[in-house]
Amino acid sequence: MKSKSPRYGVARVISKLGLGSRTQAAKWVREGQVRVNGRLVQDPEFPVNPNADRIAVAGREDAPARLVVMLNKPRGLVTTTSDEQGRATVFQCFEGAALPWLAPVGRLDKASEGLLLFSNDPMWAARVTHPSSGPDKTYHVQIDRLSDAALLKALEYGVNVDGERLAAKSAHSLRSGDKNAWLEITLDEGRNRQIRRLLSAFDIAVLRLVRVRVGGLQLGDLAKGQWRALTEQEIELLAAQGHQT
């Protein structure tokens, strides 16, 4: 007996096609803007076969070309499409640009800066952010004390914080002032506020935190608040890199 092709809710499929978020897709369905094989559907969970059924949103059946952009995120912006508290979000950096729907690929907290990715391809984003297969991420971190070899070794060894083992894949000293220092810290996993929590466990405060590299993709000289589209080669390399050894 031939097995049936998998079927998924139409809102989920629209999201996977990169046409919009799942919430937005469900809204389109309920508003009567979605047809499957020419038939109007208004149930976001209406089952469809993404490989066989024709899905049209507002009359369009074509999915947009995959797009990935990198932003040099300024400090003070929240990584979300909208904020219930009315805070400024990273999407203000795209105002006036003719871009399709994009979602952040991972995140940087409000006080952090640097390289932040966005894409309209949820499947690509899932590969890049997966804990076991995503590329390493490198940060330059200014701390409120001087650094020494013992601290760097301790950061790489790690510590238990709230039941989690937090550690840097690598930690190096970049430069020191009279009372503070800059470190380069690389992570091979993406736990929430990992660097801040790791340093806090050693009673060290973070003065600045800038993500400078994701895998082989470097922030470079991209100006604060500016963005650029990645080349197809850069997009494929990020998805294929995984954790560097």
Q: How far is CA 130 from CA 81, 177, 219, in A?
A: 21, 37, 21
Question: Quick one: DSSP state of residue 126?
Answer: H
Q: Is 53 tagged catalytic?
A: no
| Beta bridge partner(s), residue 208 | 142
Given a contact cutoff of 8 angstroms between Cβ atoms, the answer to whether 75 and 113 are in contact is yes
- Which residue among the candidates 53, 83, 109, 162 is catalytic per the annotation? 109
Which pair of structure tokens corresponds to residue 118? 């966005």
What's the CA gap between 115 and 121, in Å, rounded?
A: 18
Given a contact cutoff of 8 angstroms between Cβ atoms, the answer to whether 205 and 199 are in contact is yes
What's the CA gap between 63 and 77, in Å, rounded?
A: 30
Which pair of structure tokens corresponds to residue 140? 């330059």
Given a contact cutoff of 8 angstroms between Cβ atoms, the answer to whether 34 and 14 are in contact is yes
| Beta bridge partner(s), residue 35 | 40, 56
User: Which positions are catalytic?
Assistant: 109
